[in-house]
Structure 1
């Protein structure tokens, strides 16, 4: 018996072992694929070692932020302007953006071959994937300049793109524009309260890309300033005609109210939903280290503004208004009781979730659904103002 066997039976493939080639066969697979693309965006709020998150790579070199903990050596190196390939924050952002791109590439490569599938649905999903890929490459090219331009799935170590060379910035920018133009033509809703890609987000991102291409490092000049202004104006014109669906919030506090996610001023954001196991992880980062300001969330004080930056705001500037603008200097005991606890220095209120952290008379839930905004209508207006002025 030991010398006889059922080789055919033993070699049978497991039907539950899915691969990209076997998975992308139904419209439902296309929807799952684009959901995976959006899910990858959350790496930005993810952890980067003890008392830190990936987002701090963008803030640390600004000189306007510090930390109360000083226990994360990678973060300390960023604050000291020491940047190298061993830094966890740098690695996680580089890898994170390319993971987003890899998921988008799968969708863009596999979904066109799904048949039968509703043509409108297919066009929408391909448009969304094109936008997100452009969003990721736009970050990469601004952070690192020439970067590998990978547009197809990498399936094995023998793939030529497994260790790709860097692509000149001009070519990367051309691909970003091509992706955004394709997304713009996909027939997506102008605003989308579900958090999926909207035409308003695509047009604003394209206007921002044109504005960037007009200046350093490509220096394409007046023609691209005009392209930027014209594209931003399309969003502004829609807002003028549809003020109830697209515009500015009446107060800055509304921006960090989770009930306003994906509405009015929010054109595109990184989505969080605590009930689905994907809550916003940043709340503790902005709370003072081990202080009784919130009853259910222990602050780690990993990201706080410098006193000099806080003092640079003029008296009466609403951006510096306590517990409304960018900062807070005092908060309620345990997040919901008097007296106020004065910390004597500013902390970041910009991403403060009142539902999670609490407000007077209402204890916080510790569960945050607050999105991380990526594109707001306020930015559309600023892009238009600069581009029109320079065109």
Structure 2
């Protein structure tokens, strides 16, 4: 993945022909007509898809803003416009609602070009060609997945549309998006390898596609299919849980068997803003995401994940050049996420730390949830136990676990990884929780007081706040082709 640094040149492509909802400006001297010549071009073109993940307005930062809606974290930093995300008063012009749209369609655009042109390259190694096509299918699915979760409905652009220069398209339904995601992920799983050598670690694999299929089917309420594809991850040693929970949040061990998808960065090459946004401001960061007391209190006594995940008042933190004491005044809540921070011995943040986007532990717990919901308490014990025992062999063993135990485990295992709000939405839609009641409780700081900025109780409106409005600027550019979500008209 160190090839990313060379892709800064390749991104000059931005692959010609984009307009309207894609809103991408062609740059540089390359075009689709003179670029796709050989295997090296194909590999670099695919690596250019990964490169989009580095964008600040995509998974570099903005995607994680949406979990400020949850009860687990509160916004920090100086983006006052993110307050409306947190309190559900956003509209179609809100900055955080609109800026990520472009990068999802940029991902789709690059994937479409790979799917159009790579099959035409003569002399490619078949395994490399299949891998390239599988990666393109996966990332197109991933971009549509994020569009689905955030907007519910969105325009769908595929290879045929690119060939016909048909970009100004109306939105499709959530089920149509799900069907496209499913199709792409099945194709990806068929074409991708199970594992990679050290030189290619960090690329998506069959397990990555199976994992996202599991997540898709849970969103779709196809629980039996979620178990089928999630079990392909759980039963495959290539995707086993890392020996230690902390391995997932270490520079040295981030690309382990459990990390199904992560933003790949190497300090000095391929910069991502993710760590900067999470680290304390006085220790080289920008302090934008603060855990709440509710999340911190969810950890059981003796659960080592608490100290791995959370900085608390009085903690001694290695900031590379020495040991510093974390103070409550460092954040509005008195907490920071420790799991997303790393420092170099020479000083400064270590940008070799990966941004986790999907881990096997997530899939283990989704399989457990689907089994519990289909077959009752106890059906998911094996998967819950595997995750807990990996955290610590001294944690009480779950026996006859139900949704209460499953919800707890997901909350602590995946804290800060952009899953909590989506979990609560999914559970609310099938009446397992009342998200409005949860969000009507204030967010509290370490000392039990209501957090002064972003901590007030909020009103969640159903079904309006299940999704965000489509960006108004995209509707305007479509000249009437796109129609706003009726809840925001």
- For Structure 1 versus Structure 2, the TM-score category normalised by the shorter chain is 0.7 to 0.9
* Matches of 2:230 and 2:317, distance apart in 1: 41
Is 1:271 the counterpart of 2:276? The answer is: no
Match of 2:441 in 1: none
Q: 1:94 to 1:191 in 2, by over 3 A?
A: same
| 326-335 or 79-88: bigger deviation | 326-335
Indicate the larger mover: 336-345 or 85-94: 336-345
The question of 1:160 aligning with 2:184 is answered no
Ranked by relative contact order (alpha carbons within 8 Å, sequence separation 6 or more), the top structure is 2
1:164-215 residue CA offsets vs partner (Å, 9 max, x unmatched):
100112111111111111111114134565211111111111122122212x
Aligned residue in 1 for 2:46: 34
CA distance in 1 between partners of 2:310 and 2:197 (Å): 26
The 1-side partners of 2:150 and 2:59 are apart by: 20
**3-state SS, counterpart of residue 32 of structure 1:** helix
Aligned to 1:280: 272
Q: List alignment gaps of at least 5 residues for structure 1.
A: 1-15, 215-223, 240-244
Could you say what secondary structure the match of 1:250 adopts? coil
- The answer for the alignment partner of 1:325 in structure 2 is 309
* Segment drifting more, 117-126 vs 104-113: 117-126
Quote the Cα distance in structure 2 between the aligned partners of 1:178 and 1:260: 32
Q: From the superposition, tell whether residues 167 and 265 of structure 1 become closer, same or farther in structure 2 (CA, over 3 Å).
A: same
- The residue that corresponds to 1:340 in the other structure is 325
Find the counterpart in structure 2 of residue 351 from structure 1. 340
Structure possessing the higher radius of gyration over alpha carbons: 1
Instruction: Summarize deviations over 1:126-150 as a string: whole Å, max 9, x none.
Output: 0110011111111111211121111
Correspondence 1:79 to 2:86: yes
Which TM-score applies when normalising by structure 1?
0.78
Number of positions where the alignment pairs a residue of Structure 1 with one of Structure 2: 340
> Which residue does 1:60 correspond to in 2?
68
What is the TM-score with the length of structure 2 in the denominator?
0.64
Please tell me whether the aligned partners of residues 147 and 166 of structure 1 are also in contact (alpha carbons under 8 angstroms): yes
Distance in 2 (alpha carbons) for counterparts of 1:68 and 1:180? 35
Of 232, 235, 238, 2:233 maps to 235
1:59-112 per-residue CA deviation (whole Å, 9 max, x = no partner) reads 22114323444x323222223322223222222221111111111111111111
2:62 counterpart SS class: coil
Tell me the equivalent position of 1:246.
239
- Name the structure 1 match of 2:367: 384
Q: Provide the aligned C-alpha RMSD in A.
A: 2.7
After superposition, the Cα gap between the structure-2 partners of 1:183 and 1:30, relative to the gap in structure 1 and judged at 3 Å, is same
Partners of 1:95 and 1:133 in 2: CA distance: 14
* Distance across 1 between alignment mates of 2:58 and 2:219: 28
Contact 2:230 2:364 in 1 (8 A): yes
Per the TM alignment, residue 287 of structure 1 is displaced from its structure 2 partner at its CA by 2.9
Contact 2:311/2:338 (CA < 8 Å) preserved in 1? yes
Shift, 1:339, TM fit = 5.9
**Secondary structure, aligned partner of 1:373:** strand
Q: CA deviation at 1:113?
A: 1.5
